[in-house]
Structure 1
Amino acid sequence: MPEILDIFNQDAFSASALTGNITLVPNAYGRINALGLFRPEPIATTTVTVILENGVLNLLPTRPRGAPATLGIRGRQRPKAFPVPHIPHEDSVLATDVQNMLALTPTGIAGLETVLGFLNRKLIVMRNKHAITLEKLRMDALKGVIRDYDGSVILDLFAAFGVTQQVVDFALGTASTDVLGKCQDVTGYMEDNLLGETMTGVRALASPEWFRKFTTHASVKEAFKYYQSGPQILREDVRKGFTFGGITFEEYRGSASYVQEDGTTSVPERFVPAGDVRFFPLGTTDTFTNYWAPPDFWSAVNQAPAIGDAEVFVAPLEPKKFGKGMDIHTESNPLPLVKRPALLVRGTTSN
């Protein structure tokens, strides 16, 4: 057996070690990830079943003492099953990738590339692809419709839960628009649809076009100008958080492209379309959950993954023909679910 394959048989190249390596790469890509909105919940199955229970809340009449009490009406339960998306991604490490290549050593001196060093950098790239995919899925969940890379629908949360999305036109091109009143329309609607949930605030992720119109509107401009004059303005980017009308607005520029069937790269897709803003509640207890299904490995059948390892898994390396290198298989199995999609509000501006 060629010597390079003996290297791959060492413990550092085992599936558990490689999964550990890929987990140690910080998932720093994406604003939604940074917000920590979705609570992670590993599961042992490839589907998630959510019980929808329509609780009955009604006024209780008074009765004379000793008279029969009113009887409680049980809520109606409706189970909903959602499949967890399976996202595999493969690459390879070839002898020609490493042979004669230079790499910086820990001392800063260039030396010959090592197989493990090259593999770890390859894993970082693969990890980042999974990270941007997860960011896109989570943004889709906040928009209420989770889509695949090509735009096809994976899960329509509004249809699944039987609700219609609330859309608020801010009409930012009209100087007389009561923008504060529009903000109150958003927060009031959310409060009316909590249905037993709680919230501590509202955040808005806005496209650059919408955010620019918002911050330059006559009724917002003075407040924004005052905010910009604060003592931290030289150190803070106000696009990352400006509070008005009880809502924290920020500009969101998430986008990504994908490889098309003909091998070319698509035009980058904006996760929040131009002219749009998306509102969602903060401080909820059970509205936003990211379910993590087990990987498609024999050793992981019907086992909930550990939270620390749940995001991306690496399969055992597979030798290439004639000892030319090794194939790498990674996969992620996430379902970001919004269990109260009525709380998701879309904002637009018609002018």
Structure 2
Amino acid sequence: MDTGALLERFHAGEVRALARAITWVESGYPEGQDLLKRLRRRGNAKLIGLTGSPGAGKSTLSDRLIEALRKRGETVAVLAVDPSSPFTGGAILGDRIRMMRHHGDPGVYIRSLASRGALGGLAGATVASLSLLEAFGFDRVLIETVGVGQSEVDIARVADTTVLILTPAAGDAVQAFKAGVMEIADLFVVNKFDLPGGERVVQELKTTLELATARPGGWKPPVLTAVAPKGEGIEALVEALDAHYAHLQERGLLEADRLERARFEVESVIQEWGRRRTHSHPRLIEQVAAGQLSPEEAAQQLLGTGSLEGVSH
């Protein structure tokens, strides 16, 4: 199928065309890049990042969010970013089973993407896929990460609103303090609030946030509670998501979000390109290991530049 035919089907609202377009982009095909140039900056989806440690209940919360948003008549897409298989490069976890009850709903689209070695975080293909979902016309896009490594920081660079999901029994709050995630989340949700220690975690979060630096535009992140399997706390979460998006609009911060997302996408492409180049030049890596070249000299050769000055900036 050529790009023109796929675009025609895409604009006609064919889900299979959307799926094919994402596959082209994720696989790095030139046709995918052509599609992105034609479709970028179309649509006005609200991008919501959901992160938290494994077992925090992200998928169940996503499932309930989908349900609540669909009742409001909104269309929803979900990008579930999974850790990559070290052997195939594909997503390990696959489409989340709990969300599959929405599979037959034409107003819901769920897709798993592999992180593809992006240092435990998001891959550039994730941001490109977001552009396609926006162009397809979804009202909301949920980006769910596995919640390890760089994913929490990455998601904050990509989403309009970042939601950190914690639980009472896993020491999540302490880990969030240590990892600095407190600084990047726009909303906090203590899920499984019916477990022992729920109220204590809420108070710890509120106390810490009172001492934290104010967010851009003076936003004060709320601490919410939920029991996702029972649907408790979901309406309050939707209201908080709307309130944060309205705050971004009123303060003119959405354009800054878009610029940061584009910067992240370019950096991700460079990272992926560098990873592939190092694998295709084993002799260069052997020279570094033997002390014949410094890592910077090897990188200069791979990049074809004379200097790396300023590259990290």
The normalised TM-score by structure 1 is 0.21
| Structure (1/2) with the larger strand percentage | 1
Taking CA–CA contacts closer than 8 Å with sequence separation of 6 or more, which of the two structures ends up with the larger relative contact order? 1
The normalised TM-score by structure 2 is 0.23
| Structure (1/2) with the larger helix percentage | 2
Structure with greater Cα Rg? 1
